[in-house]
Amino acid sequence: MPELPEVEAARRAIEEHCVGKVIKKALIADDSKVIDGISPSDFEASLLGKTILSAHRKGKHMWLRLDSPPFPTFHFGMAGAIYIKGVAVTNYKRSVVNEDDEWPSKYSKFFVELDDGVDLSFTDKRRFAKVCLLKDPASVPPISKLGPDALLEPMALDDFIESLGKKKLAIKTLLLDQSYISGIGNWIADEVLYQARIHPNQSAATLSKESCAALHKSIQEVIEKALEVGADSSRFPNNWIFHSREKKPGKAFVDGKEIHFITTGGRTSAFVPELQKLTGAEPKNQNSKRKINEGKKMNDEGVGELVSKTKKTADTTDTKTKSKPKGPSKKPSTKRKSKINEDDGSDEEAENDDASDDEDNIHDIGKMKAGKRTNVGRMHDASESEKPSKQTVPSSRSGKQRKKAK
C-alpha cells in the first residue's frame, strides 16, 4: 500500500504542477465509501473557483490548502494514487493508470481541471481510501493523533534510544504504530529492520544502543533513497529486501540469502534469519492479531483502531433492509473470493497480509447518513444537473445495486 514515499511523491508533484492555479471544473465520485461525510455536489461546489495554495502531508495523509477552507484531505488506503495528466508521479503497482486508459479514469474519486488546462485526479481502484473536506485537517483526528512524521520530524538519536527502551513490544509492531512514528508501513518496516539487521520480533526494549542507532539511520536512508527515485519501486536499490518480499517462501532471496516469512502483530514480516538474529524471549502475544484498544493505539493506516461511526451506521442500515428469510436457513458458503471486480473497482478479496477490511475501513473523519448510500463509481459533474433515481440497496462489500427483499 502507499506509504510515506509514495504520498510524499504525490505531494511534491502537486506542489510543482498545481500550486497557484484555479479550479475550473470538479468531478467527485458518487461513492460514499471513499467520499466521506459530504455529497458529491456539495464537495464540487466547495472547490469551484478556489486557488490551490499548497500541498501538505503528515504520515500517509495529504491535504490541499486552498485560498479558503474547507480543504480536500486524502488518506490513500491500499491503492490510492494521485495522477496529473502528462506527469509521471509515482509507479505504484496496485494503482497504475495507463496512458491509453479513459480519462478521467473510471476509478477516479476526485478530479479537478485547473485554469491552465492541467488535470489532477485521485484514483482508488480498491475503494479503501478516504477523501473528505476539513476546515483544519492537522487539528482533528486522525491527523492530529499521528506521531512525529518519519521524514519531516525525525526523533533525535538520544530520544529515539530512550523511547525504545521503554517499549516492551516487538520492534516491528512499534514501527507500525502511527501514534509513535507516522508514515512507516509494512514494506518500509521490513526494509529498515533488514538494513539495520534487527529481527522484526525483537523486543524494542532489549535493543542495544548500537542497534537503535542503526535503526535510526536506516529509517532516514530508506525513506530518502525511495524519494530520490520518485517512489518508483522498480528503481529501488537492488540490495533491498523489498524486491523479493512478495515472492513465495523458498523462492525469495536477497544478496543470495534466503528470506523467511513470519507474522508480527498480525502482519506478514519478511526477514533474513542469517542476518537478523532474535535474542532473548519474544514479546508476549506479538504473533496474535492486534486488539481494538479504544483509539489508544494507531495502526499503520494512520487512524485509531476504533471502528468509526460511519462504518457502524452503514452496517446497521444494510442489515435493516434485509428481510428475514422464510423456511430453513442455508449454511453460508465458506468459499473465499479472490477476484477484484474490474468494472467498479470493488475489493472482493478475503483478508490479506497488507490489511484487513476492518483496518482499512477504520476512519474517524466525517459521518455518513443512514440510507443515503448510492451507486458506486458514478461521477457528478458540477456543471450538470442531477436527475433523481429509483431507490436501491447497495451491497455492503462491493457497492453493487441489488433489489430489496420482499
Residues serving a catalytic function are 2-3, 60
Q: What is the DSSP letter of 205?
A: G
Query: Looking at this protein, which amino acid is placed at residue 213?
Result: A
Q: Are 74 and 128 in contact (CB under 8 A)?
A: no
Cα→Cα distances 316→97, 138, 303, 313, 391, Å: 35, 30, 22, 5, 18
Interatomic CA distance for residues 65 and 70, integer angstroms: 8
Task: Give helix 209-228 / helix 4-17 axis angle, nearest 10°.
Answer: 40
Interatomic CA distance for residues 110 and 133, integer angstroms: 12
Interatomic CA distance for residues 165 and 209, integer angstroms: 9
Max CA-CA distance within the chain? 67
Cα→Cα distances 353→81, 179, 207, 229, Å: 20, 21, 26, 26
The strand pairing partners of 347, in sequence order, are 340
Q: What is the DSSP letter of 231?
A: T
How many Cβ atoms sit within 10 Å of the Cβ of residue 315? 13
Interatomic CA distance for residues 195 and 279, integer angstroms: 17
**For the chain, percent helix, then strand, then coil, each to nearest 5?**
25, 20, 55
